[in-house]
């Protein structure tokens, strides 16, 4: 797909690659968990899938978190810097903030709080994990990345709903106008922020939003007409590994025991 002869908008949503913290079964949230070796390989396969379809983007966006930015840089190396412009980083695209659970091992958290409570915090649309105290060094108000953001806007914990609402201004102000004009956009982000975008695009119910899953580094492609009606939706995989990851992701249970 090229930038010339624009007739419809195109949005590619991509979740970052697997992180080292995922291997350690830890809640990442807004913490900077780097990609694992398998995560960098996933990103390279995603780049191959996009390059084989001749994508060329008018703009690229990612979150402030290193795992998403690193994934996007691997994409740029694989697809070409001329095809993917220098990205804009925006905190609205960050993962959901897990509050006091951030950085904790999930199995230990299940022992401390119980499976039922932990599952509610992870999966129920309006359930918030325990908040971080303002003086906690993990609170984003202490992170130089957010020094120019009003501290009152920075979360100390978020539900799925909070994260979905957070991304709406970004959709309305940054993505929708360009898509309506026929641009091709790339967003490399996280499950929670992508969930919020998909909820807005598809008009998902609360239950459908809770059930939303997206595999790491499997591009999700939407095409829009000038009135922002969805013309098509497609996931793109490259090789057997990506296909298996996509299928496993779709069959995940919504109720998970970490003990």
Q: Which residues are catalytic?
A: 16, 95
**What's the CA gap between 133 and 13, in Å, rounded?**
33
User: For residue 35, which phi and psi values (nearest 5 degrees)?
Assistant: -65, 145
Given a contact cutoff of 8 angstroms between Cβ atoms, the answer to whether 117 and 259 are in contact is: no
In angstroms, rounded to a whole number, what is the distance separating the alpha carbons of residues 63 and 49? 22
What is the distance, to the nearest Å, from the Cα of residue 9 to the centroid of all Cα atoms in its chain?
20
| Burial class, 87, CB count within 10 angstroms (exposed 0-12 / middle 13-18 / buried 19+) | buried
Tokens 């996931």, residue located: 235
Burial of 186 (0-12, 13-18, 19+ CB in 10 A): buried
């Amino acid at each position: 797909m090229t930038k010339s002869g624009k007739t419809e908008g195109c949005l590619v949503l991509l979740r970052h690659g697997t992180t080292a913290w995922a291997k350690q079964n830890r809640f990442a949230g807004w913490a900077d968990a780097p990609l694992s070796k398998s995560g960098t390989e996933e990103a390279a396969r995603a780049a191959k899938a996009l390059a084989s379809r001749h994508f060329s983007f008018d703009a690229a966006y990612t979150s402030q978190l290193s795992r998403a930015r690193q994934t996007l840089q691997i994409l740029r190396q694989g697809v070409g810097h001329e095809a993917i412009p220098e990205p804009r980083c925006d905190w609205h695209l960050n993962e959901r903030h897990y509050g006091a659970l951030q950085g904790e091992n999930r199995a230990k958290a299940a022992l401390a709080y119980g499976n039922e409570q932990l599952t509610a915090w992870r999966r129920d649309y309006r359930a918030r994990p325990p908040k971080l105290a303002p003086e906690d060094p993990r609170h984003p108000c202490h992170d130089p990345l957010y020094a120019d953001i009003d501290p009152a806007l920075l979360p100390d914990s978020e539900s799925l709903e909070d994260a979905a609402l957070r991304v709406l201004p970004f959709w309305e102000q940054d993505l929708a106008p360009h898509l309506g004009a026929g641009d091709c956009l790339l967003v490399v982000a996280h499950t929670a922020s992508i969930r919020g975008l998909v909820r807005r695009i598809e008009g998902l119910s609360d239950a459908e939003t809770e059930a939303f899953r997206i595999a790491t580094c499997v591009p999700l492609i939407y095409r829009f007409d000038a009135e922002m009606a969805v013309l098509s939706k497609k996931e793109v995989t490259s090789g057997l590994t990506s296909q298996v990851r996509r299928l496993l992701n779709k069959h995940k249970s919504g109720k998970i025991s970490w003990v």
